[in-house]
Amino acid sequence: MLAWSIIEFGDNMKSELGNAKAALRWSSDYLVKAATATPGTLYVQVGEPNADHHCWERPEDMDTPRTVYKVSAQNPGSDVAAETSAALAAASVVFKNSDPSYSRKLLQTAINVFDLADKYRGSYSDSLNYAVCPFYCSYSGYNDELLWGAAWIHRASQDNRYMSYIESNGQTDGSENDDFSFSWDDKRAGTKVLLAKTYLENKIEQFQLYKQHSDNYICSLIPGSPNSQAQYTPGGLLYKQSGSNLQYVTTSSFLLLTYAKYLDSNGGHASCGNSVVTSESLIVQAKKQIDYILGDNPMKMSYMVGFGNKYPTRIHHRGSSVPSIHDHPNRISCDDGHQFFNSGSPNPNLLVGAIVGGPDSNGNYGDDRGNYNEAEPATYINAPFVGAAAFFSGH
């Protein structure tokens, strides 16, 4: 999502573009290492979730087992492998002009990982169930990631084999209408918007389906639309579910803006039943959501740490809530750290820029470190926000 943010709205990032690309290169380097260290293998996880969640300690003090888990032909993980492939392919687009050699390396690695995902089909939630569930289970299956990965490789390579793959597998690999969410687990809405671009630009008949489904997704978000299905808090925040709800807000806002860009560039509009929804309407809806996150809400509270006069101070984050090694040089053990978890005091280390899970369905936020559904920040919340923020910085 960070790569997609840079691709669509990098021109608006100005002096921050270099920082965004540096962050993307750092994560891409890691994925390349995970994909190339052992032929036919993708390393997907370091650490044991149950042990890690039992402890509350600083990164510098971590002493829980650092077990390494992998997927392969014998232990398939099409979901995590295809997602890795998509991430590498998207990153290759970002670096295509500035570092062609690196871009080619990313793309070739993406292709190899996708081949592993497609040839040896299966969910890593099954192969590695004891290690990844219930924390990182793939609830949507792996078909959505296969289509997502193929779509990104096609965009990066323009190789018609992947267009053929999408045409042949789209009906079974996640092109069906969905529950109108886009998240770390479910890629269907994002894939449709990405493939709708291909239809809008080239009018390839086989891809018209993705334009129709993208319209359905967009229309589901627009209050007053004949197809509106989304729920909103009394203050106007999109509300999907209690677990890190702001991920759905940032991803949907990003897709609204990206689809608006695709429509604008090709003279199109979204069809909601008999109604026409313009790109301007999509932008207005996205801005309401981004403004809400940054403090334009009934609580007058920003949900980005360090932004504005009022923001979360007790976020569910170990490094932020436990004293730094500069203030507390002695080791803080696994169990000792819980005194800081249970403390009512604000976190001593400000995690500037982190966006938390957000308020409940009534728009209330208790700033409670123990309520991870509301107080936990995540990169999958922030990454799409980068693109949305970049768009509005230029408008």
Overall fold of domain 194-315+351-395:
Glycosyltransferase (1.50.10)
**Burial category of 215 from C-beta neighbours within 10 Å (exposed 0-12, middle 13-18, buried 19 and up):** buried
- Residue 171: its pLDDT value, please? 75
| pTM of the predicted model as reported, rounded to 2 decimal places | 0.96
For the stretch 130-158, pLDDT in tens is 999 999 999 989 999 999 999 999 999 99
Gap between the Cα atoms of 235 and 227, Å rounded: 21
Domain-wise residue ranges, the chain: 1-36+73-174, 194-315+351-395
Token couple for 235: 């203050």
- Residue 206: its pLDDT value, please? 86
- Average pLDDT of adjacent 10-residue blocks, the chain of 395 residues: 98 97 98 98 96 94 95 98 99 98 99 99 95 91 96 97 93 62 94 95 89 93 88 97 95 98 92 92 98 98 98 98 97 97 98 98 98 98 98 94
What are residue 146's phi and psi, to 5 degrees? -60, -45
Q: At what angle do helices 143-157 and 188-202 cross, to 10 degrees?
A: 40
- Residue 176: its pLDDT value, please? 60
For the stretch 54-66, pLDDT in tens is 999 999 999 999 9
Q: Is the dihedral of CA 389, 304, 26, 138 positive or negative?
A: negative
For the stretch 100-130, pLDDT in tens is 999 999 999 999 999 999 999 999 999 999 9
Instruction: Indicate which residues carry an active-site annotation.
Output: 316, 367, 376
- Residue 170: its pLDDT value, please? 84
